[in-house]
Amino acid sequence: MSRVNIDLPGLSMKNPIMPASGCFGFGEEIGKLYDLNELGAIALKATTPQPRYGNETPRVAETASGMLNAIGLQNPGLEKVITEQLSRFDTIETPLLANIAGTTMEDYEKVAEALSKTGKIGALELNISCPNVKEGGIAFGTDPQLAAELTKRVKAVSNIPVYVKLSPNVTDITVIAKAVERAGADGLSLINTLSGMKIDRNTSKPLLANSVGGLSGPAIKPIAIRMIHEVRHQTELPIIGMGGVSTLDDILDFIIAGADAVAVGTANFTNPFVCLELSQALEQSLERQQINHLYDIRPKEVHLR
Amino acid sequence: MSRVNIDLPGLSMKNPIMPASGCFGFGEEIGKLYDLNELGAIALKATTPQPRYGNETPRVAETASGMLNAIGLQNPGLEKVITEQLSRFDTIETPLLANIAGTTMEDYEKVAEALSKTGKIGALELNISCPNVKEGGIAFGTDPQLAAELTKRVKAVSNIPVYVKLSPNVTDITVIAKAVERAGADGLSLINTLSGMKIDRNTSKPLLANSVGGLSGPAIKPIAIRMIHEVRHQTELPIIGMGGVSTLDDILDFIIAGADAVAVGTANFTNPFVCLELSQALEQSLERQQINHLYDIRPKEVHLR
Amino acid sequence: MKKEDMIVRDNREIAQDIYEMVLEGNLVGEVEHPGEFLHINTSRHSVPLLRRPISICSTDKQKSQLTILYRAEGQGTRLLSTYRTNETVDVLGPLGNGFPVGDVSPGETVLLVGGGIGVPPLYDLATVLRRKGATVITVLGFSNKNVVFYENHFQKLGDVYVSTIDGSFGYDGFVTDVIDQKKLSFDRLFACGPVPMLRALEDKYPNVKGSLSLEERMGCGIGVCLACVCHTQNDPDGSDYRKVCSDGPVFPWGEVVL
Amino acid sequence: MKKEDMIVRDNREIAQDIYEMVLEGNLVGEVEHPGEFLHINTSRHSVPLLRRPISICSTDKQKSQLTILYRAEGQGTRLLSTYRTNETVDVLGPLGNGFPVGDVSPGETVLLVGGGIGVPPLYDLATVLRRKGATVITVLGFSNKNVVFYENHFQKLGDVYVSTIDGSFGYDGFVTDVIDQKKLSFDRLFACGPVPMLRALEDKYPNVKGSLSLEERMGCGIGVCLACVCHTQNDPDGSDYRKVCSDGPVFPWGEVVL
Ligand SMILES: Cc1cc2nc3c(=O)[nH]c(=O)nc-3n(C[C@H](O)[C@H](O)[C@H](O)COP(=O)(O)OP(=O)(O)OC[C@H]3O[C@@H](n4cnc5c(N)ncnc54)[C@H](O)[C@@H]3O)c2cc1C
Ligand SMILES: Cc1cc2nc3c(=O)[nH]c(=O)nc-3n(C[C@H](O)[C@H](O)[C@H](O)COP(=O)(O)OP(=O)(O)OC[C@H]3O[C@@H](n4cnc5c(N)ncnc54)[C@H](O)[C@@H]3O)c2cc1C
Ligand SMILES: Cc1cc2nc3c(=O)[nH]c(=O)nc-3n(C[C@H](O)[C@H](O)[C@H](O)COP(=O)(O)O)c2cc1C
Ligand SMILES: Cc1cc2nc3c(=O)[nH]c(=O)nc-3n(C[C@H](O)[C@H](O)[C@H](O)COP(=O)(O)O)c2cc1C
Ligand code: FES
Ligand code: FES
């Protein structure tokens, strides 16, 4: 037992830090920069049944302390993910969290079933909240009944734990959280990006080819913290928290607010070594302060689990 | 006709710029710094039927490119607003937008009726979206039926135009916008603050005494722009746009996205002269570029009105 | 009140993380009372977003210069410590009411009690009081010897007692311990420092003549946003309030709830 | 690829808003091909958030120094222009593939065409080509005479033709006009500049041997985020793509959709 290891359904993590889905690809590039065994877990880029090119460019835009992205779920498709991407992890012990997206419930079922059968995935993460694709599961993310039904159906075809990744673009995130909890979800990931827009004044049009994009980065951290705090008090499910994390202080804030593990997204783009650096800094900091385990920094009320 | 004057229901504005409600008090302090006649309009601090002390401190917290506030609708109450605050504007031509808050529909009716009768107010702005007070109208802001009913009732007792200030903390802001449009609203203001939280790691508790606060400032601009753009395409009502405005470029972005006038909130705290400076900079910029009227910078699609 | 890009004439560390910064600008001409403060924008961008309230420590109207002392601790003050000579910094001020030196008569003995980064405004205050012919006794409390500053400056203006919480410099303990031990007597008490210190002083001297200077998180610094309010002591229904930025930061002894 | 705090050795304006910056660090040892780029974090805070891709213009491996040229235009590049000698700047690099100089044989005539801020990587390229024994002809296009730079540098390496769109310096018009007018002939063409220029060149010389360097808005710069993709030309179903940051920024003539 180290000061930082944690055990979540399907994810036995040596530390609470993982790259967030879509901000690490399938580990190919960053795997060349450092040993991926140093990470607590790895959330893979969203996989859809068929290959997707995604949206046209520009796909990113900068905002104050944030960025908008509208990649549009570009990915090589289920088959190639299994044949070409997963083998990279054969020699890596870090558990994988496979992010799944689709247009229909059948899409999710198909990808979930196939990926869970590979035996290489620790848990699934249902991306029911990607704001960048019209058919990208956004209705699933905002309608508690649809979210619950999707969760149930995916659970039925998967032999590994299922996390549901919640959208912040809702009136009350706890309603969705409780709906998927009742439907059998094993954990929650939050938050996905907030829907935003930037104007290109040269053209007087939205800058992103897709018009709307997902806002991520430090700008959204207070919203993420609030939502995690709310959800923590309403469900018993483990929470993978994310949204604007880039420093050790951010990690601690998320743990205190109620996250059980923390995912780092946008910060990987500014510093590809950030997840490694944070993992090391966290352990050192706890050691220096002689805190036996990370969760000891949480206030009592948060110890629901 | 100048390049910048605009005519909105109840608000005949010499330029499109106004301070946002709660970020200018009742004009007392900033009125000593410059001539309030230079402003397009002035949105007053929320008025409730009774005086309110508001929340305990800390009431503000800083976040990346943003701030959280939980003032809690502190105000001297309807009676004192009328007797002590409004007379300040007797010699000022700038139209006033009186922001109204309350706990019950009757609260709103009472304040609306009394303020509209004073003859000193150009239009009312219903704050149905303050996230910092449990009973602060938040349900009105997230439920289209309640929002519509409130609008109807306030309209019935007011002899001046009524704007409804929309909350961004909803799944689909256009649903609320359309509901209040059908209910007779004369205009919309958006966006109010996003609900957020900051952790004080010294105490492992939320930093704000109220736990949750409203996120404002540059961080939320992309969300404001997106929502204004959406609402612009779904209603015909005039829109007072706000959220993170602090520069001339911001003003132009909001106009392009579909706002008819622009309110400046948090930026007044960093620079109490900002509304004056922006008014002047806007007119000068249009003159330099020989643009006849501000609205000419908008793309065609936005010319709904 | 002005908003001005003031010129940095000096910015140096004088104790651990404690900086002394000299700023020049027309704004200095408007400073009236010791205890007024500046609201400083430490960045040219939106991080950090808000200004930082910092007390004026001394002014030189001839040179249009003033001095501030600050602890480089959080994001904004650390950024402030990176400014170099001849750069400009965006300052709003002077703000606040300052200490009521007009109430003090020549010959009075005034006790000044400062804790940590609450010490700076007392220096200007001591100077003005001396000029008025008052006798000034200063008690300064710090956490340890590395963060002690301006002891010598105050010594030129009267008796000075320094205490540190860990006893590593001067007297061992809190400022109230020193006052007890030295049996200091005085006609008036002005204090600035952490709330626990102010509260201890109020408890000890409930009926003394004097004022204290408060800190509160601020938005605007000019009375607009209502971020910085505090309750008043004699207020049965809890609805009365003061704004620290514009009604304060200095309040009469016993007026506000600490 | 390294992430390094490189030391600024020089940073000066060499034409209107065009800066030449010399950076020193170990990262220089890893630069292999002309046309590689750096991804520069221009701030120490979150505004602006993203790095800026800037081409390497020349390297001096002996001194562990490299030179970049950039136009201070938006938020990030303007901030970059404020860095002073001996400050450090957070750099990721070298990134990208660079120009395929290995394909060029001694004695070949290579035409380099650069537009505006696309010119910098061609300088390193010209140097390497000359060292290989190729003949280098350079055509540089700028918008007007105030933003012309490095003409003299290129002149030391071969014939140089400069055009400006407003005719205020050199030839009047676009780079393609100059090539026509001067009837320039060549064995290979390398180009870097705005997309309309690249497109005009591809339309004019559909079958030439050569490469072009592309710009696209980037997130990571290392192939992770898929922000910077472009379509390929022979791709009936539109699903094929290249990442400008890691497959490019240099692509064979005719490979990607402009
Ligand atoms: C009237 C007044 C006078 C002051 N005079 C001085 C002085 O002369 N020297 C000095 O070093 N300090 C002084 N302070 C305290 C100083 O304002 C804070 O230490 C400073 O704002 C902290 O900013 P930061 O960037 O270091 O911290 P951060 O943690 O980055 O601050 C985050 C936010 O909290 C606010 N904040 C944090 N601590 C305080 C505090 N103690 N008081 C008010 N706001 C706070 C900041 O202003 C900012 O908005 C004074 C405060 C007030 C109200
Ligand atoms: C491979 C490559 C090499 C480059 N080499 C150079 C060079 O040597 N010198 C030089 O001056 N410029 C070069 N550029 C262009 C340079 O990256 C942009 O001018 C710069 O990013 C604009 O940043 P800003 O802060 O000025 O503008 P802002 O408007 O603040 O930029 C906002 C966002 O848009 C992106 N962006 C804006 N314009 C461009 C653009 N043309 N290309 C890519 N991203 C853009 C920025 O990176 C940033 O993320 C290169 C671009 C690429 C892709
Ligand atoms: C470029 C980019 C691509 C993303 N792709 C995905 C994705 O494929 N699936 C998903 O669930 N979330 C995706 N996200 C959302 C992130 O996983 C994360 O929830 C969000 O960015 C907030 O975290 P951050 O602020 O640390 O980036 C993406 C985010 C970015 C910036
Ligand atoms: C301190 C503070 C107080 C506010 N008070 C009110 C209020 O009383 N009524 C209201 O409708 N909005 C209030 N708002 C919201 C603003 O009017 C505005 O909608 C929001 O801050 C977004 O704009 P900004 O980013 O420019 O600040 C307040 C905002 C702040 C920061
Ligand atoms: S800080 Fe705004 S009222 Fe005091
Ligand atoms: S910039 Fe991220 S993949 Fe190219």
Residue range C63-114, pLDDT digits in tens: 999 999 999 999 999 999 999 999 999 999 999 999 999 999 999 999 999 9
User: CB distance from B253 to chain A under 8 Å?
Assistant: yes
Superfamily of domain D2-95 in the CATH hierarchy: Translation factors (2.40.30.10)
**C77 is known to lie in a ligand binding site:** yes
Neighbouring residues of A3: CB distance < 8 A, sequence distance ≥ 6: A283, A286, A287, A291, A292, A293, A294
Q: Which residues of B are annotated as a binding site for substrate?
A: 45, 69-73, 127, 192-193
Q: What is the CA radius of gyration of chain B?
A: 18
A147, part of any domain: yes
> Which of the other chains make 3 or more beta carbon contacts under 8 angstroms with chain A?
B, C, D
On the question of pLDDT at A134 being above 80, the answer is no
What was the pLDDT predicted at A302? Answer: 60
Test A298 with B204 for CB contact under 8 angstroms. Answer: yes
Task: For residue C223, report the distance from its CA to the centre of ligand 5, in Å.
Answer: 4
In the numeric block, which tokens belong to residue B274? 């900002």
Q: Please state which architecture CATH assigns to domain C214-257.
A: Ribbon (2.10)
Closest listed residue to residue B25, CA positions, set B89, B105, B117, B107 = B89
**C192 is known to lie in a ligand binding site:** no
What was the pLDDT predicted at B139? Answer: 78
User: Residue A107 belongs to what domain range?
Assistant: 6-297
pLDDT band, residue A140 (cuts 50/70/90): confident
Test C227 with B271 for CB contact under 8 angstroms. Answer: no
What was the pLDDT predicted at A129? Answer: 78
Test B297 with A204 for CB contact under 8 angstroms. Answer: yes
Element housing C200 (H / E) = helix C195-204
Place of tokens 């650069």: D114
The rounded Cα B170 to chain-centroid distance in angstroms is 17
B267, part of any domain: yes
Residues in chain B whose Cβ is within 8 Å of chain D: 64-65
A213, part of any domain: yes
pLDDT band, residue B131 (cuts 50/70/90): low
B303, part of any domain: no
Pocket lined around ligand 2, Cβ cut-off 6 Å: A 62; D 37, 48, 50, 52-55, 68-71, 73-77, 117, 120, 215-218, 249
Closest listed residue to residue C192, CA positions, set C109, C123, C95 = C123
B100, part of any domain: yes
Pocket lined around ligand 5, Cβ cut-off 6 Å: C 218-221, 223-228, 243, 245
pLDDT band, residue B89 (cuts 50/70/90): very high
A1, part of any domain: no
Give the residue from chain D lying closest to A213, CA to CA.
D227
Mean pLDDT of B14-37: 97
What was the pLDDT predicted at B25? Answer: 97
The rounded Cα B108 to chain-centroid distance in angstroms is 16
What was the pLDDT predicted at B133? Answer: 55
What was the pLDDT predicted at C44? Answer: 87
Q: What is the CA radius of gyration of chain A?
A: 18
What was the pLDDT predicted at B299? Answer: 83
Chain C residue numbers touching D84 (CB-CB < 8 A): none
Domain boundaries, chain D: 2-95, 100-211, 214-257
Catalytic residue among A130, A166, A176, A225: A130
Over chain A, what is the mean pLDDT? 94
Read off the pLDDT of residues B281-296 as tens digits, 9 standing for 90 and up: 999 999 999 999 999 9
Lowest mean pLDDT among A121-135, A240-254, D83-97: A121-135
Read off the pLDDT of residues D50-90 as tens digits, 9 standing for 90 and up: 999 999 999 999 999 999 999 999 999 999 999 999 999 99
On the question of pLDDT at B304 being above 60, the answer is no
DSSP string covering D97-143? ----GGGPPTT-EEEEEEEGGGSHHHHHHHHHHHHTT-EEEEEEEES
Q: Cβ distance B246 to B220 under 8 Å?
A: no
How many domains does chain B fold into? 1
What was the pLDDT predicted at B300? Answer: 74
Catalytic residue among B130, B154, B215, B262: B130
Read off the pLDDT of residues D140-187 as tens digits, 9 standing for 90 and up: 999 999 999 999 999 999 999 999 999 999 999 999 999 999 999 999
Please, what is the angle between helix A274-288 and helix A248-257, to 10°? 70
Task: For residue B22, report the distance from its CA to the centre of ligand 4, in Å.
Answer: 5
CATH of residue B88's domain is 3.20.20.70
Read off the pLDDT of residues D3-60 as tens digits, 9 standing for 90 and up: 999 999 999 999 999 999 999 999 999 999 999 999 999 998 999 999 999 999 999 9
pLDDT band, residue A301 (cuts 50/70/90): low
Mean pLDDT of A77-104: 96
On the question of pLDDT at C59 being above 80, the answer is yes
List the CATH code of the domain at D100-211. Answer: 3.40.50.80
Task: Give CA–CA dist D123/D112, Å, rounded.
Answer: 9
Longest dimension (CA), chain D: 52
Mean pLDDT of B245-274: 98
Helix (H, G, I), strand (E, B) or coil at D4: strand
Q: In the annotation, is B23 catalytic?
A: no
User: CB distance from B248 to chain A under 8 Å?
Assistant: no
Mean pLDDT of A285-295: 95
Which DSSP letter does residue A75 get? B
Question: What single-letter amino acid sits at B255?
Answer: I
Give the residue from chain C lying closest to D75, CA to CA.
C45
What was the pLDDT predicted at A1? Answer: 62
Task: Give CA–CA dist D125/D190, Å, rounded.
Answer: 9
Pairing of strands A6-8, A11-13: antiparallel
Q: Cβ distance D96 to D37 under 8 Å?
A: yes
Q: Best interface-test mutation with A: which of D222, D224, D228 has the largest number of A CBs within 10 A?
A: D224
- C249 ligand 1 Cβ < 6 A: yes
On the question of pLDDT at C12 being above 90, the answer is yes
Between A302 and A94, residue with greater pLDDT:
A94
Task: Give CA–CA dist D138/D178, Å, rounded.
Answer: 11
Give the residue from chain A lying closest to D218, CA to CA.
A60
Over chain B, what is the mean pLDDT? 94
In chain A, the percentage of residues whose pLDDT exceeds 70 is: 95
Q: Best interface-test mutation with C: which of D47, D82, D88 has the largest number of C CBs within 10 A?
A: D47
User: D15, exposed or middle or buried, with CB in 10 Å at 0-12, 13-18, 19+?
Assistant: middle
B201, part of any domain: yes
In chain D, the percentage of residues whose pLDDT exceeds 70 is: 100
Task: Give CA–CA dist D229/D247, Å, rounded.
Answer: 9
Pocket lined around ligand 6, Cβ cut-off 6 Å: D 218-221, 223-228, 243, 245
Ligand 2 atom having least distance to the Cα of D248:
1
pLDDT band, residue A245 (cuts 50/70/90): very high
Give the residue from chain A lying closest to B256, CA to CA.
A204
pLDDT band, residue D2 (cuts 50/70/90): very high
On the question of pLDDT at A142 being above 80, the answer is yes
Task: For residue C246, report the distance from its CA to the centre of ligand 5, in Å.
Answer: 7
Mean pLDDT of A133-151: 81
Question: What single-letter amino acid sits at D76?
Answer: G
- A165 ligand 3 Cβ < 6 A: yes
Mean pLDDT of B229-242: 97
What was the pLDDT predicted at B36? Answer: 98
**C225 is known to lie in a ligand binding site:** yes
Chain D residue numbers touching A30 (CB-CB < 8 A): 222, 224
Mean pLDDT of D214-226: 97
Q: Cβ distance A141 to A167 under 8 Å?
A: yes
What was the pLDDT predicted at A227? Answer: 98
On the question of pLDDT at B224 being above 70, the answer is yes
What was the pLDDT predicted at A130? Answer: 63
pLDDT band, residue B148 (cuts 50/70/90): very high
Distance from CA of C181 to the nearest CA of A (A): 36
Mean pLDDT of B89-108: 95
